[in-house]
Amino acid sequence: MREWLINRLQIPQRTLLNRKIPKKAFFTQADLSTTEKEMFTSQIEGIFLLSVMNQQSMNIPIYQDDEFNYAEVVWIYVELRTDKNINKIISAFHKSIPNPVVLIMSSSEGQILLSTSHKRLNKNDKTKVVVEQPTITDWFKAKEEETVYSNLLNSLVVSNLSFENLYSIYEDIQQWIKCEEVIRLVGKIPTRKDKREEVINTLNKVQKHCKDVGQLQLEQKGQVDFGVKMDLHMKIKRQEQQINLRLQQIRELC
C-alpha cells in the first residue's frame, strides 16, 4: 500500500525518503503520556517518513507570519495492528511533530484514512506550536477505482496542489480532506477547486444545524411539559429542514 500510494499521489522523487522511523524517536522527541506510549507500542506495526517537502526539495517558498512558520511539510505513513483508539493515536502524532504533517494511517484490512492539523505559533513562546483540532477522514479502500474516494485521491495528486508556498500546499491538502465528510453525507465531492470553498462553508452550516438538533433533543428528553416538548419538536423539525436544504445545495455544487 505504501509504494502504491507514493505512485498514486505522484509524490515527487526528490522529496521521497520512505524510511522507517523507530517508535522510540517519538518517545524522546515528544511529550507523550504513558498511555500514548503504550498505544504506540501495542497498536502500531510501523512508522515511515514518506516525504519531506521544503524549499530545497520542491522549490516552494517557506511561509512565515505572526501565526505560522512553515518551512517543511512532512508526510508520515503508519501501519496499524488495530484501529482501536485511532483518534488518540492521530492526535499524538500531530502533537509529536512540530512541522505540519500529512498523516496516512493504514489498517490491517487494507484501508486508509488521512489526517492533517495546522500548527500555530505559541504566542508566549515562538519556539513552540499550538496544534489545531485534527481533520480526519473516514476509513476507505484506496485502491478501488471509479469511486468518489478515487476522485478525492485525484485531487490530492501533488501536481494538482497549490504551489504558492508551503502553507498553501498544506492548506490545499487539508481543504480536500475536509471535503471527505461531504462524501459521507451526499455521496459526492466537488471536482472543481473553485467550488470547494462554498461546499465547505455550506458543510460548516450543516454541522452547526446538526449540533443544534442534538442540543434540542437533549432539552426535549428532559422536558415533562407537553407544550414545551411540542415547541422543541417544531424547532428540531425546522433545523432538520435547514440541514436538508444545505445538503441539496452541496449536491448542486458537486
The per-residue pLDDT for range 7-36, each reduced to its tens digit, is 999 999 999 999 999 887 777 666 777 888
Tell me: pLDDT of 75 over 80: yes
Q: Does the global pTM surpass 0.85? A: yes
d(C-alpha 167, C-alpha 86), whole Å: 26
Q: What is the mean pLDDT of residues 30-55?
A: 87
Q: Cell 425546522 appears where?
A: 238
Rounded percentage of the chain residues whose pLDDT exceeds 90: 63
Greater pLDDT, 26 or 235: 235
Distance CA 131, CA 64 (A): 16
54-66 mean pLDDT = 93
Task: Check residue 41 and give its pLDDT.
Answer: 84
Range with the poorest average pLDDT among 36-40, 85-89, 106-110, 152-156: 36-40
Q: Which candidate, 39, 159, 48, places its Cα nearest to that of 105?
A: 48
Per the CB < 8 A criterion, the answer to whether 139 and 107 are in contact is yes
Indicate the Cα dihedral angle 60, 191, 101, 20, nearest 10°: -100
Contacts of 130 (CB under 8 A, 6+ apart): 119, 120, 121, 122
Residue 28's pLDDT is 65
Under 8 Å between Cβ of 247 and 188:
no
Of 17, 62, 21, residue with least CA distance to 170? 62
pLDDT at 165 over 70: yes
Please enumerate in sequence order all residues whose Cβ is within 8 A of that of 222, keeping only pairs 6 or more positions apart, or say none: none
CA 230, CA 132: separation in Å to the nearest integer?
Answer: 39
Q: Give the pLDDT confidence score for residue 53 in this predicted structure.
A: 96
Q: Which of 227, 176, 185 is nearest to 209 (CA)?
A: 185
Q: How many CB atoms lie within 10 A of CB 146?
A: 6
